[in-house]
Amino acid sequence: MNKKILRLAVPNILSNLSIPILSSVDTIIVGHMEKVSYLGAIALGTMIFNFIYLGLGFLRMGTTGLTAQAYGRKDDQEIPAVFLRASVVAVSSGLILIMFQVPIAELGFYLVNSSDEVILSAREYFDIRIYAAPATLLLYAVHGWFLGMQNAKYPMILAVGGNILNLGFNLLFVYGFGMDTAGVALGTVLAQYLSLATGIYLMFHRYGDQMRQITTRMLKIPGKFKEFFSLNTDILIRTIIIVFAFNYFTVKSADYGEDILAVNSILIQLWMILSYGIDGFAFAAESLTGKYIGAKNRENLGKVIKYIFLWGFVTGALFSLIYWIFEKPLLSLFTDKTALVLLAGNYFAWSIAAPLVNSFCFIWDGIFIGATASKAMRNSMIISLLFVYFPLYFITRDIIGNHSLWLAMIGFMAARGVTLTFYAKNHILKRAE
């Protein structure tokens, strides 16, 4: 079982780490530019896209769970049909985002309290990057389908290759052509479309037999779109809440001033690196949980859960150790401004503690996604936000200042792990009976 887990987890870890590492490189690029406002602009622009894209992350998660269960049942007709339905929703959603880009931007920046200079640069970033929406969302469906097919190699190729392209374009546009945040956004757009073209090629190259079975009649199978939207509505609500929690964190960081916004945007990158690293095992849990639930194999499902948690805890502990040992070098990597490095050090303990706390809820997420137990995930997130995140922040904000934001985030993650553990018996193990 450990071999099966690692066969899926290791490529996922590599591909997942490339995402926040690239985001961190973007932060490093602008962090070494003349104006501190560029850091805030990237943080605010990215915040809006996180809300949009992570909110639509069900296109990957739902696709993985449904495909993995069809794979476990050996349902050769449903396997390509899942991808077709996800693709229709992905492309339609991307085009709608482009059509409504103006009101989305107006609302997003209206809710942010920051300087005019930061807002101007962030708006320039947004107005360019929004055109990557159809490619980004369709890539979600492609990644999810590959993972459901127990294939972590192709998502790794797409993620790592796409992010290398993104980095190359960013360096070219920023340092070669003298662009600022606009160059970072343009690099993302071009890299996304090139990655999508590669993904479609790999899909037809490896799974041509399944792809040739796709017909529009699959869209008319009774109940299937309803099942797809029912599952993904719960995942959407769950995802919107977690994106809201992170974006609320960013918005409230801006209330403490430009320096705190910059510091918190740097430190949250370490959380992202952690989450994507642990998610390598969570993605493996999605694939294997869905497969064994589809095959009604409770014994192997139990083994997956046991070993996945062990790997997740060890990985989290390793991240905490690395953050503890390399605090100053990590902070200096993100910015060369001594004042920001010193200020960030005051809050770095939260980043050291986060891996041990967060690993449990990340692994549970993967298991619940593979089981398509979306209602439990939704309820867990609502409870954690309303009864832990908000109370911790509002009770402590006037006492410990910026620390209250980090306390609220840690408490939020811990509450997710506790509530999902409570739901597991009825929503996971019984699905394989």
Q: Sign of the CA dihedral 245, 249, 250, 251?
A: positive
- Rounded to two decimals, what is the model's pTM? 0.79
In Å, what is the CA distance from 83 to each residue of 149, 176, 238, 332, 338? 11, 39, 22, 43, 49
DSSP secondary structure letter of residue 428? T
Q: What is the separation, in whole angstroms, between the first and last Cα of the chain?
A: 20
- The reported pLDDT for the residue numbered 90 is 93
Count of alpha carbons within 13 angstroms of residue 280, beta-carbon side: 30
The pLDDT value recorded for residue 76 is: 83
Say how many CA atoms lie within 13 Å of 240 toward its Cβ. Answer: 9
Q: What's the confidence (pLDDT) of residue 124?
A: 84
Output the pLDDT for position 98.
Answer: 94
Other Cβ atoms within 10 Å of 56 Cβ, number:
24
DSSP 178: -
Q: Are 14 and 281 in contact (CB under 8 A)?
A: no
pLDDT confidence of residue 244: 87
Which residues, 6 or more positions from 333, have their beta carbon under 8 angstroms from its beta carbon? 28
pLDDT the model gives residue 135: 94
**Tens-level pLDDT at each residue, the chain (433 residues):** 667 777 787 787 777 666 656 556 666 676 666 666 666 777 777 778 877 887 788 888 889 988 998 888 888 888 888 898 899 899 999 999 999 998 988 887 777 666 667 777 778 888 898 999 999 999 999 999 999 999 989 988 998 888 888 888 888 887 888 777 788 888 889 999 999 999 999 999 988 888 888 776 766 666 676 777 777 788 889 888 988 898 899 889 888 888 888 888 889 888 877 777 788 888 889 899 988 888 888 888 888 899 999 998 999 999 999 999 988 888 887 777 788 888 888 999 999 999 989 999 999 999 999 888 889 999 999 999 999 999 999 999 999 999 999 999 999 999 999 999 999 888 887 776 6
